[in-house]
Structure 1
Amino acid sequence: MADVVEDHAKSPNGAVEAIDKPRSPPPETTKSITTRRLVISSFWAIVIFLGLPLWWKTTTIYRAQLPLQSMFDWSDGKACRPVFPLRIAIDAPTLPSADARHLLRTTQHALDDLNDFSAHHLRLLLANPSKRNSSGSNGQIDYDDGQLQGEADIALTISLIPAHDGATPRAELQKYAPNLDIYYAPNQIPSPSSTSSPLATFIANELQNIFAEEQAALAYLLSSSSNGQMARVKSLPPETAAAMERQKTRSFKYAPTYHLTFSLFTPGSAPSAWDIGAALEEYIAPLLHSLSPISNFTVDTQVQLYATFAPSIHKPDFDEERRAWTLRREDLSGFINAAEWPLSPSIGMGPTVNFVLYVPAESQSPLVVKENGGHSWLVPQWGGVLIQNPASPSSNPPALTKEALRPAMLTFSNQLLSLLGVPQTPDSLPLRISTLTRIHAASLLFSASSTLGSLARLTQALPGIAIPDNVASSVDQTISHLQAACDDLREGRFHSALEHARVAEAGAEKAFFERSMVGQVYFPDEHKVAVYLPLLGPVAVPLVMAALKEVKKISARRMSKAS
Structure 2
Amino acid sequence: MTVKPGDPVSPLTPASDASKSHTTRTRVPPPETPEAVQTRFRVIAAFWAVIIFLGFPIWWQTTSIYRAHLPIQEMVDWADGKTCRPVYPLEIHVAAPLLQSPESQHLLRTTQHTLDDLNEFAAHHLRLKLTNDTSDSAARVVEDSTSTLRNTAGETPDVVLTVRVLPEEGLATPRSELLAHTTQLDVFYPPSQIPSPSTSNPPLSVFIAQELQRLYGEEKATIAHILSGESAGLDSTSPQLTESISRRLRRSMKYAETYHLSFSLFTPGSVPSSWDIEAAVQEYLSPLLDAFEPISNFTIDTQVQLYATFSPMTPAPIYDETEAAWTLKKEDLSAFINAAEWPLNPSIGNGPTLNFILYVPDPSQSPMVVKENRASSWIVPQWGGVFLLNPPLEKDQSNPAHLSQDSLQSAFMTFSHQLLTLLGTPSTPASLPLRLQTLIRVRAATLLLSASSTMGSLARLTESLPSIPIPANVASSVSTTLSHLSATCSHLRDGRFNAALASARVAENEAERSFFEKTMVGQVYFPDEHKVAVYLPLLGPIGVPLIVGLMKEVKRLLAEWKAKRAAA
TM-score by length of 1: 0.89
Q: 1:416, CA displacement in angstroms?
A: 0.4
- In structure 1, what is the Cα distance between the partners aligned to 2:16 and 2:123? 124
Aligned to 2:79: 75
Of residues 55, 60, 64, the one that matches 1:60 is 64
Residue 214 in structure 1 maps to residue 219 in structure 2: yes
Q: 1:279, CA displacement in angstroms?
A: 1.0
Of residues 87, 110, 113, the one that matches 2:114 is 110
- In structure 2, what is the Cα distance between the partners aligned to 1:150 and 1:127? 18
Q: Deviations over 1:314-333 (max 9, x none)?
A: 11111111111111111111
Q: Cα–Cα, structure 1 residues 539 and 171, in superposed 2: closer, same or farther, change >3 Å? A: same
Q: 1:29, CA displacement in angstroms?
A: 4.6
Aligned to 2:420: 417
Q: 1:25, CA displacement in angstroms?
A: 6.6
Q: 1:388, CA displacement in angstroms?
A: 1.2
Tell me, yes or no, if the aligned pair for 2:280 and 2:412 is still in contact at 8 Å: yes
- In structure 2, what is the Cα distance between the partners aligned to 1:321 and 1:139? 49
- In structure 2, what is the Cα distance between the partners aligned to 1:186 and 1:521? 75
Tell me, yes or no, if the aligned pair for 1:62 and 1:468 is still in contact at 8 Å: yes
Q: Deviations over 1:339-371 (max 9, x none)?
A: 111111111111111111111111111111111
Aligned to 2:408: 405
Q: 1:167, CA displacement in angstroms?
A: 5.2
Q: 1:300, CA displacement in angstroms?
A: 1.1
Residue 377 in structure 1 maps to residue 381 in structure 2: no
Structure 2 residue matching 1:332: 3-state secondary structure? helix
TM-score by length of 2: 0.89
Aligned to 1:34: 38
Q: Cα–Cα, structure 1 residues 73 and 12, in superposed 2: closer, same or farther, change >3 Å? A: closer
One-letter code of the match for 2:413?
A: L
Q: 1:516, CA displacement in angstroms?
A: 1.2
Q: Cα–Cα, structure 1 residues 539 and 179, in superposed 2: closer, same or farther, change >3 Å? A: same
Residue 525 in structure 1 maps to residue 528 in structure 2: yes
Aligned to 1:279: 280
Q: 1:77, CA displacement in angstroms?
A: 0.4
Tell me, yes or no, if the aligned pair for 2:171 and 2:190 is still in contact at 8 Å: no
Aligned to 1:269: 270
Q: Deviations over 1:188-219 (max 9, x none)?
A: 22112222211111111111101010011011
Tell me, yes or no, if the aligned pair for 1:178 and 1:431 is still in contact at 8 Å: yes
Among all aligned residue pairs of Structure 1 and Structure 2, give the percentage whose two residues are the same amino acid.
Answer: 58
Q: 1:552, CA displacement in angstroms?
A: 3.7
Of residues 97, 119, 122, the one that matches 2:101 is 97
Aligned to 1:161: 166
Of residues 182, 195, 217, the one that matches 1:177 is 182
- In structure 2, what is the Cα distance between the partners aligned to 1:387 and 1:501? 39
Of 275-284 and 161-170, the range deviating more from structure 2? 161-170
One-letter code of the match for 1:216?
A: A
One-letter code of the match for 2:539?
A: L
Structure 1 residue matching 2:161: 3-state secondary structure? strand
Aligned to 2:338: 337
One-letter code of the match for 2:382?
A: Q
Q: Cα–Cα, structure 1 residues 216 and 557, in superposed 2: closer, same or farther, change >3 Å? A: closer
Q: Cα–Cα, structure 1 residues 520 and 233, in superposed 2: closer, same or farther, change >3 Å? A: same
Q: Cα–Cα, structure 1 residues 544 and 363, in superposed 2: closer, same or farther, change >3 Å? A: same
Residue 201 in structure 1 maps to residue 202 in structure 2: no
Q: 1:44, CA displacement in angstroms?
A: 1.7
Of residues 473, 482, 487, the one that matches 2:485 is 482
Aligned to 1:234: 234
Aligned to 2:362: 361
Q: Deviations over 1:425-476 (max 9, x none)?
A: 1100000010000000001000011111111111121122221221111111
- In structure 2, what is the Cα distance between the partners aligned to 1:246 and 1:500? 28
Matched pairs, number? 540
One-letter code of the match for 1:361?
A: D
Aligned to 1:437: 440
Structure 2 residue matching 1:550: 3-state secondary structure? helix
Structure 2 residue matching 1:208: 3-state secondary structure? helix
Aligned to 2:156: 151
- In structure 2, what is the Cα distance between the partners aligned to 1:346 and 1:411? 22
Q: 1:238, CA displacement in angstroms?
A: 4.4
The higher relative CO (CA closer than 8 Å, separation ≥ 6) is in 2
Q: 1:556, CA displacement in angstroms?
A: 4.7
Aligned to 1:536: 539
- In structure 2, what is the Cα distance between the partners aligned to 1:510 and 1:379? 29
Tell me, yes or no, if the aligned pair for 2:218 and 2:241 is still in contact at 8 Å: no
Tell me, yes or no, if the aligned pair for 2:171 and 2:189 is still in contact at 8 Å: no
Of 51-60 and 350-359, the range deviating more from structure 2? 51-60
Of 384-393 and 444-453, the range deviating more from structure 2? 384-393
- In structure 2, what is the Cα distance between the partners aligned to 1:400 and 1:268? 14
Q: Cα–Cα, structure 1 residues 238 and 152, in superposed 2: closer, same or farther, change >3 Å? A: same
The alignment's C-alpha RMSD in Å is 3.0
One-letter code of the match for 2:345?
A: S
Tell me, yes or no, if the aligned pair for 1:263 and 1:302 is still in contact at 8 Å: yes
Q: Cα–Cα, structure 1 residues 390 and 112, in superposed 2: closer, same or farther, change >3 Å? A: same
One-letter code of the match for 1:234?
A: L
Aligned to 1:144: none
Tell me, yes or no, if the aligned pair for 2:174 and 2:190 is still in contact at 8 Å: yes
Of 234-243 and 71-80, the range deviating more from structure 2? 234-243
Structure 2 residue matching 1:333: 3-state secondary structure? helix
